Amino acid sequence: MIEFRRIAFIAAGMLLAAMPLTAQDNGGGVTRRSPSERRGQQQQQDGPQVTQRMQQFYETDGNSVSDADRAWMRVIYRQLDLDKDQNAPLYFPEEPVDGQLNLFRVIMQLLADNRVSAYEYLDGREIFSDQYRINVRDMLDRFHIYYQPAKGSTDKNPRFTIEEADVPANEVLSYYLIERWEYDTRSNRVRPTVEAICPVLHRSGDFGGEALKYPMFWVKFSDIRPWLAQQMIFLSDDNNLPTCSIDDFFNLTMYDGEIYKTRNLKNKSMAQMYPDPDDRRRAADSHQAPLDNFGT
């Protein structure tokens, strides 16, 4: 009899262990959720989740070509004006709509959550090292962006809460972009890749007048790609479905950017090398033409 009770007790325990975790506890009325349900709920709260494997894939994708496989390389600096129709998908929606964010809001969210690093905008130089990593709190103060320390924020892991209305997305009207064009001898083709992005704030002074441009910081494109790949945008008024990710938008060079500098020995911008606007335009066209002719 004792042996029978012991077997029955073990069987009951096995039955309870096999029951779904979504069953309710009749005594306390608490619903238990399965781990997959809890992960889904957490993803809804925290936005798109990026695993370490995903991040490593995007960090190495396009950067795995060794110097021995590169026969030629050219570094191009572009300015993307968001008032151009072709670049409008990076600006809209101005406010979050059904989970859709524009490029600047995605970047600010990542910086506020301390998920990626940003680097100082050094006029004429770009150095993506720890020495030039920005302090996000100082950057927010410098551009008068209101914030609160986020729950769980520490000195080693500072995180911030920024209200949607306080993100100056409507003032970021252009971006600076660093492109790297490489000839890969393995594939026998030119590979254009985006290396870094800099949001540019257009802000008028206290007395009005023409808005001044304030480059805010650089972020490495490879650092933010995992999140851009999950942020969908729509490209035209003819199709209101978001059919393209921001990552694809850049990798397929769907943007329209004016060349304002090429990497050169004297580290001069086009404006410094060609003060006359017409000369500058002709020089920019001469740099663009070979890039357009690659592969044709």
Tens digits of residue pLDDT in 149-203: 999 999 999 999 999 999 999 999 999 999 999 887 777 778 789 999 999 999 9
**Residues in Cβ contact with 174 at an 8 Å cutoff, skipping those fewer than 6 apart:** 79, 80, 81, 82, 200, 202, 213
Say what the pTM is: 0.78
For residue 245, being part of any structural domain is answered with yes
Q: What are phi and psi of 138, to 5 degrees?
A: -65, -40
pLDDT band at 4 (very low <50, low <70, confident <90, very high): very low
For residue 143, being part of any structural domain is answered with yes
For residue 154, being part of any structural domain is answered with yes
Q: How many of the other CB atoms lie within 10 Å of CB of 291?
A: 16
For residue 192, being part of any structural domain is answered with no
> Domain range for residue 234?
82-174+217-257
For residue 77, being part of any structural domain is answered with no
Tens digits of residue pLDDT in 204-263: 877 777 899 999 999 999 999 999 999 999 888 888 888 899 999 999 999 999 999 999
d(CA 262, CA 269): 7
For residue 112, being part of any structural domain is answered with yes
For residue 204, being part of any structural domain is answered with no
Backbone region of residue 287 per phi and psi (left: phi > 0; alpha: psi in -120 to 50; beta: other values): alpha
d(CA 285, CA 235): 26
For residue 247, being part of any structural domain is answered with yes
How many separate domains does the chain show?
Answer: 1
Cis status of the peptide bond prior to 93, with omega within 30 of 0? yes
Helices assigned H by DSSP within 24-70: 35-46, 52-60
pLDDT at 34 over 80: no
